[in-house]
Amino acid sequence: MIFKSYILEEKFESIKECKLFLFYGENQGLKQEFKEKLKLQNSSKEILNLFQDEIIKNKNILINEIKNKSLFNEKRLYLSIK
């Protein structure tokens, strides 16, 4: 799901209902703020940071990470960083 930034600023909790979402734009500060809120909301989950350059170079890296099963955590949060 793609959210408008003003919707997320008003009601960030609406993001919990989605398993996959995208937020993007030029405002680096706002994107960083959303990432920090996500990390706080999902502190019990394993957080994996994937870099945009790595994903572009090797398109299978994201698929492989999703398919990997963790012995310690059932749920993961994937963040792509530019």
Give the residue numbers spanning the domain of 32.
1-41
Q: In which band, very low, low, confident or very high, does the pLDDT at 57 lie, cut at 50, 70 and 90?
A: very high
Residue 4 tokens, joined: 């408008």
- For residues 23 and 53, membership in a common domain is answered with no
- For residues 28 and 50, membership in a common domain is answered with no
CA distance linking residue 62 with residue 43, whole number of Å: 21
Give pLDDT, residue 66.
Answer: 82
- For residues 34 and 58, membership in a common domain is answered with no
- For residues 32 and 51, membership in a common domain is answered with no
- For residues 51 and 79, membership in a common domain is answered with yes
When divided into structural domains, the chain yields a total of 2
| pLDDT tens digits for range 69-80 | 777 777 888 887
- For residues 37 and 72, membership in a common domain is answered with no
DSSP structure string for 3-34? --HHHHHH-GGGGGG-SS-B---S-HHHHHHH
Q: Is the pLDDT higher at 58 or at 31? A: 58
